[in-house]
Each structure stands twice: as structure tokens, then as C-alpha cells.
Amino acid sequence: MKNNWILDVLTDLRGFATANGLPRLAEQLDDTVLLAACELVSSPEGGDARGANAGRVEFCCDVGGAGTGF
């Protein structure tokens, strides 16, 4: 799938946030990675969400409340 690169970018951003003492941002980016993987898998083009986050796709049944805990 041509859009899988976004998962790697989001993972890199999460790593930066974690390494630089931004835990809430890291948590939000973790949710964002899951949401992106779900949308990529369910997109009309289909896909397999390969890459750094391939194992996480199975957990994306309902991430609609992402970011609402603040």
C-alpha cells in the first residue's frame, strides 16, 4: 500500500515525544498510529498496514474516543 509510510512517520514522532519528556503527546501519537492503521486497512484501496506497526492493527476495533481524556 502506498500510504504505509505515515505509520513510520507517526512512530518516529512518538519516539521523539517519549525521548523528550512529552508523555501526553506520545500517548496521543500512539492512539493516532492505531487510528491511521485502521483507516489504511479499511481504505478503498485495501491494504495490510505492514511496517513497524503491523501487529497493532488487530486492536483497532474502536478507537473513536482517542484523545478525549484531557
d(CA 54, CA 46): 14
pLDDT in tens, 1-42: 578 899 999 999 999 999 999 999 999 999 999 999 999 998
H/E stretch holding 58 reads: none
pLDDT higher at 67 or 23? 23
pTM: 0.62
Specify whether the CB–CB gap between 1 and 45 falls below 8 A: yes
Q: Looking at this protein, which amino acid is placed at residue 14?
A: R
Mean pLDDT of 41-59: 57
* Cβ contacts of 1 within 8 Å, gap of 6 or more: 40, 43, 45, 46, 47, 48, 49, 50
